[in-house]
């Protein structure tokens, strides 16, 4: 029987050793679903395979359906994103993207917009100013939350839907009630009955801006650097509440660069 082959664009998310010389590659396919395959001989010295299947690489893979795992026969690089692996700050930022994708992408569950957005953010991380890294990662997270249907409410109360009026606060810095468990910003009435904390209203506006701006626009109009740290902190806790996972890579980015 002829081997059943298929071709797919991928972003490499994870590599695991298998036997002496093989690798199991976990990748995001161009449909946005998670694919796993074996790259035979990829760990042999001098194998050209491994350089085309580095973490964060955007490649075109020719695979064959296997009994348990599919086998990758050939891989052609579309964009190696080499800078992302050769620079510590860029590499940490890339890890934040790859880790959340490996935890949220599911096999046979298509979400093609996630693939396109992932390619865009890796391209941007590859050649942006270093001060943009934290903003690109936080914007990616917020956009991904939207694609996954877990976007925090930022304009209107997550419980009753009323518009949040940030202008009525008499304190010098307006604050809004925000609840991770209840899905985002809350009006005063709903906040009284919820486990909410107060967040600077400006921060909520910046989150809205990051969510709705292109990566190129973000790089061109960078806010004050401390904002990235705060948004990343919110994203980390949002992931722990809504995806029930602790993102280790995000700790490095917040801890090393932005705390
Ligand atoms: Zn409300």
What is the distance in A from the centroid of ligand 1 to the CA of 141? 25
* Structure tokens belonging to residue 105: 């992408």
Taking the C-alpha atoms of residue 221 and residue 200, their distance in angstroms, rounded to an integer, is 20
What is the distance in A from the centroid of ligand 1 to the CA of 158? 7
pLDDT at 197: 94
Beta strands across the sheet bearing 197-200: 184-186, 175-179, 197-200
Q: Which one-letter DSSP state was computed for residue 157?
A: -
What is the distance in A from the centroid of ligand 1 to the CA of 156? 8
What ranges do the domains of the chain cover?
5-79, 82-152+198-258
pLDDT digits (tens, 9 = 90+) for 161-206: 999 876 555 555 689 999 999 999 999 999 998 989 999 999 999 9
Q: Where are the alpha helices (DSSP H) in 151-247?
A: 188-192, 201-212, 215-220, 225-242
What is the distance in A from the centroid of ligand 1 to the CA of 193? 10
More confident residue, 1 or 10: 10
Tell me what the pLDDT averaged over the chain comes to: 90
What is the distance in A from the centroid of ligand 1 to the CA of 68? 50
Give the distance from CA 23 to its chain's centroid. Answer: 24
What is the distance in A from the centroid of ligand 1 to the CA of 188? 7
Ion ligand 1 nearby residues (CB, 5 A): 157, 159-160, 187, 190
For residue 134, the tally of other CB atoms under 10 A from its CB is 25
Instruction: Classify burial at 82, counting beta carbons within 10 Å of its beta carbon; exposed 0-12, middle 13-18, buried 19 or more.
Output: middle
Taking the C-alpha atoms of residue 231 and residue 252, their distance in angstroms, rounded to an integer, is 15
What is the distance in A from the centroid of ligand 1 to the CA of 30? 39
Element housing 169 (H / E): none
What is the distance in A from the centroid of ligand 1 to the CA of 178? 11
What is the distance in A from the centroid of ligand 1 to the CA of 152? 14
What is the distance in A from the centroid of ligand 1 to the CA of 56? 41
pLDDT at 258: 43
Least confident range from 2-6, 25-29, 123-127, 155-159: namely 2-6
What is the distance in A from the centroid of ligand 1 to the CA of 238? 20
163-183 as b/e, with b when 16 or more CB fall inside 10 Å?
ebebeeeeeeebbbbbbbebb
What is the distance in A from the centroid of ligand 1 to the CA of 84? 43
What is the distance in A from the centroid of ligand 1 to the CA of 189? 6
In the three-class reduction of DSSP (H, G, I as helix; E, B as strand; rest coil), residue 124 is classed as helix
We find that the CATH architecture of domain 5-79 is Beta Barrel (2.40)
What is the distance in A from the centroid of ligand 1 to the CA of 190? 4
Least confident range from 21-35, 36-50, 86-100: namely 36-50
Beta bridge partners of 77: 59
SS (H, E, C) 194-220: CCCEEEEHHHHHHHHHHHHCCHHHHHH
Taking the C-alpha atoms of residue 215 and residue 135, their distance in angstroms, rounded to an integer, is 9
CA of 75: how far to CAs of 70, 179, 202, 221, 232, in Å?
14, 45, 46, 37, 34
């Amino acid at each position: 029987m002829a081997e059943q082959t298929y071709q797919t664009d991928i972003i490499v998310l994870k590599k695991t050793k298998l036997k002496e010389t093989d690798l199991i590659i976990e990748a995001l396919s161009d449909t946005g679903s998670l694919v796993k395959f074996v790259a035979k001989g990829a760990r042999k010295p001098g194998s050209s395979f491994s350089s085309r299947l580095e973490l964060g690489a955007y490649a075109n893979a020719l695979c064959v359906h296997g009994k348990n795992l599919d086998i990758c026969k050939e891989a052609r690089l579309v964009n190696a994103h080499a800078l992302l692996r050769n620079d510590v700050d860029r590499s940490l930022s890339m890890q934040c993207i790859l880790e959340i994708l490996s935890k949220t992408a599911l096999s046979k569950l298509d979400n093609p917009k996630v693939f396109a957005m992932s390619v865009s953010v890796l391209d941007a991380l590859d050649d942006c100013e270093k001060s943009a890294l934290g903003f690109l990662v936080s914007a990616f997270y917020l956009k991904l939350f939207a694609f996954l249907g877990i976007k925090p409410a930022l304009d209107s109360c997550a419980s009753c839907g009323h518009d949040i009026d940030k202008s009525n606060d008499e304190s010098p810095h307006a604050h809004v009630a925000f609840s991770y468990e209840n899905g985002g910003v809350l009006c005063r009435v709903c906040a009284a009955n919820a486990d909410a904390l107060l967040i600077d209203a400006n921060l909520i506006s910046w989150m809205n801006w990051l969510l709705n701006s292109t990566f190129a626009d973000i790089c061109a109009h960078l806010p004050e650097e401390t904002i990235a740290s705060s948004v990343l902190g919110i994203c980390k806790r949002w992931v722990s509440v809504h995806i029930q996972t602790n993102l280790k890579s995000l700790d490095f980015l917040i801890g090393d660069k932005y705390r």
